[in-house]
Structure 1
Amino acid sequence: MAAAKKRPFLGGEDMDGKKVKGDLRGGKPHIAALILARGGSKGIPLKNIKMLAGVPLIGWVLRAAVDSELFGSIWVSTDHEKIEKVARAWGAQVHRRSPEVSRDSSSSLETIQEFVRLNPGVDIICNIQATSPCLHPHHLKQALAKITEEGFESVFSVVRRHHFRWKEVKKGEGSSTLALNLNPNRRLRRQDWDGELCENGSFYITSRDLIEKGILQGGKVAYFEMGAEYSVDIDVDIDWPVAEQRVLRYGYFGKDKPEVVRLLLCNLSGCLTDGQIYVSAEGLEMVSLNTRDSMGICMLQKEGVEVIVISSIDNPIPKVMVEKLSKQIGCEIRHNVEDKLSEVDKLRKERELVWKEVAYMGNDEPDVQCLNLSGLSAVPQDATLVSRNAAKYACHSAAGRGALREFAEHILLLKKKAKSQMEQDRIPRD
């Protein structure tokens, strides 16, 4: 590949909205990561910032891009204010695309060309797809090395498939078919053929010169093969539950090892219960408790996670009812807690835990500090906006409708992931 020309980088805006100037990094080519995130998705409205396993969809690829430490700048190209806010929160600069490249008919190449035209200091563009949440930093490092070290001009990600394909042949009223990649009389076993390389859409890395010529894949071109477990692409709503299970198992959770939670603290009203008190015709007061949530508590306790429920001082649930609930769910309930942060910090210190070993589930403004400090934090689906913004995991289930069970499963899955990672890191002794 020809040596990159030095061009002035116009820059953009940082997380605080301030203008920033590009860095040619000592004459090295400026490599920019670019994630396209249009707001007008037809399949899933605002798909790019919809929560996937507790993280905005676009957050998964932004975290991988930031932690790769490969890029002179990381950008999200969008036409939507909400996507812009999420992008900045996850460490990206924002390119507000023009209406001309924000239409349903606009191609990715047109949008990238606009970005390149407005940022003449960028030499290599890594277009990362927002809908590929199982991307890891090592994928980007290995693929980019093909350009920076091996001289390729474009690289794109693929997955190997072993699918037999047929072509539909229409004739008059009927139709027939022709084999495309097999001989039906001699069908090969999976292990007897190499399969085919299919684009998985995770990323496309291309030189500036090719983009300016209207070429996304060309010149001296190479592919980067990703495993099938990492090749997740979300197009429609039906893909979402499958992607959530895949990302929890194969997604990238950051540089640190997954937190091993030893203590979970949870609000009584608004988390464990739906926050309502029911009164019978005879005047008896009742609250609703979901058996899935009580089972979630039991699951955590079996895995060595202590669970304590917190009832604030302004909670209208009578003390006698709180005591009955404590026996029902099989864990301690701290009643009439005036200052949640002080109480949580006290419990943490008594058990000699660091904040990373504490999980917290809240639902309103008084919980924000605890949600921010805890290693893992969550809110029910119907929590207030201020608490949702502070939490690291947003549940699909509402308060009193299985939210605690959902968070418990998330904690245990990360615990299992951490255990597996520790086993992999363990050095065998002679």
Structure 2
Amino acid sequence: MTTVAIIPARGGSQGVPGKNLKPVGGVPLIGRAVRACRAARLIDHVYVTTDAADIAEVARAEGAEIIHRPADLASSTASSESALLHALDEIADHGVDPRTLVFVQCTSPFLEPKDLDAGVELVTGGEADSVFSGVETFEFLWRDAEDSCPPGTGPMVGQNHDASHRPRRQDRRPDYRETGAFYVMDVKGFLRAQHRFFGTTRVVPVSELASLEIDTAEELALADAFAGILDSPPADLPLDVDVVFSVVDGILTSGACAWQGDGAAVTIDRADVIGLNQIDIPWVVLPQKLGTPAPERLGLTTLPGSTAQDITDWLDEHGISPERAALVSADVETLDAMTAVGWPIAVPDAPASVRSAARLVLTFPAGRGAVRELCDRIAEARTP
């Protein structure tokens, strides 16, 4: 019983140009969708159907299989169903015969793999032919009584309630608003209906955050702000990496320093020093335009440059995969460098743009326990 996920992703976008490649939490929307599908237990194959080479490149790097989407199926007027039908034909040509189809839209950045699995279980278990993601709502909806007037300018009529009776929230049954994040379908039923809704339709209730859909620049900014918090792993999750990069000021120190006659004197938290001494991996210091040098007594490695390419070159030279490298950032100066590692990390007092680009946001502030917190997690991961 093969289950496939298909993610249509056009290169064109009217509301937000290049939307499918816009980053949320440092990860392009198409990448987030692929990751969610690959993390679902019940999805066997993940396909991205696209007309854009740059989208295909990102999706392929995340582990998706690529289907070339013809131009006539990639216009703003082409239906999603037409892209799905074409993709299923292509998949069949490659010897895959799916029973269940998961249709995912990458404009929902906070997809939960468990929700995808719940939808698949409803279809494969025979409880539904088609499934949609929906969020519970108790809103009172109104609409114009006449279609001849401009929206909102004429008499209104209630749509999901009796206007003469106003029950309490706790006395009402919820309605479900379709989020557009994902749909699950029996493949044979979909091929017959040529539409995503047919037979018995069920809902997978999702959270308000999971229901967020990006159609405007404002929604994109909101999602990016949320991502810095929502994407962070649990605070007690060990961190298994082979190298850490950081600057001195704002990470090893609070960013403040006292100037003496022979140079700058920096203060480093004793707990942070203990943390550095308990890990057996390199801690590489990046140069700052106005930063202070790393104290020699700490025995840290110093990198000549601080760009993403400088870090990539160092990792290549030392045979370390980017996925096993971490970089701790406190300022926008290192935003570019954060893209070169698998674990971009931010201190809690970093700017919002840095926190949203981070995979992990630490609990303790810079210069007052952040380094010790990180070192403790690294040491725990490396303890047999």
2:67 is aligned, of 95, 98, 114, to 95
- State which drifts further: 147-156 or 166-175: 166-175
% identical equivalent positions: 22
- SS in structure 1 opposite 2:34? helix
**Structure 1 match to 2:36:** 64
**Structure 2 match to 1:363:** 307
**Structure 2 match to 1:208:** 187
| CA apart distance, 1:201 | 1.3
Whole-angstrom CA distance in 2 between matches of 1:294 and 1:408: 20
Q: Unaligned stretches of 5+ in structure 1?
A: 1-28, 273-288, 327-331, 346-360, 420-430
| CA apart distance, 1:220 | 2.6
- Conserved 8 A contact 1:160-1:225: yes
1:255-304 Cα offsets, whole Å, 9 max, x none, are x947499x974247xxx7xxxxxxxxxxxxxxxx9xxx949xx9x97996
- Conserved 8 A contact 1:364-1:386: yes
Whole-angstrom CA distance in 1 between matches of 2:176 and 2:36: 24
| CA apart distance, 1:241 | 2.6
**Structure 1 match to 2:246:** 266
1:166 is aligned, of 123, 142, 161, to 142
**Structure 1 match to 2:381:** none
| CA apart distance, 1:68 | 1.8
**Structure 1 match to 2:14:** 42
1:24-77 Cα offsets, whole Å, 9 max, x none, are xxxxx2211111111101112221121111212222222221122322211111
**Pairwise mapping of residues 276-315 of structure 1 onto structure 2 (< 5 A)?**
294=255, 310=285
**Structure 1 match to 2:89:** 117
- SS in structure 2 opposite 1:333? coil
Give me the CA root mean square deviation: 4.4
Q: Unaligned stretches of 5+ in structure 2?
A: 257-265, 277-282, 374-384
**Pairwise mapping of residues 29-428 of structure 1 onto structure 2 (< 5 A)?**
29-120=1-92, 121-170=97-146, 175-213=154-192, 214-251=194-231, 257=237, 259=239, 265-267=245-247, 294=255, 310=285, 325-326=291-292, 333=294, 343=301, 362-368=306-312, 369=315, 372-375=323-326, 388=339, 390=341, 392-393=343-344, 411-412=361-362
For normalisation by structure 2, the TM-score amounts to: 0.69
Q: 1:362 to 1:380 in 2, by over 3 A?
A: farther
How many matched pairs? 325
| CA apart distance, 1:107 | 0.8
- SS in structure 1 opposite 2:128? coil
For normalisation by structure 1, the TM-score amounts to: 0.63
Question: Residue type matched to 1:217 in 2?
Answer: F
- Conserved 8 A contact 1:158-1:200: yes
Whole-angstrom CA distance in 1 between matches of 2:225 and 2:58: 23
| CA apart distance, 1:186 | 2.7
Q: 1:362 to 1:127 in 2, by over 3 A?
A: farther
- State which drifts further: 80-89 or 69-78: 69-78
| CA apart distance, 1:195 | 2.0
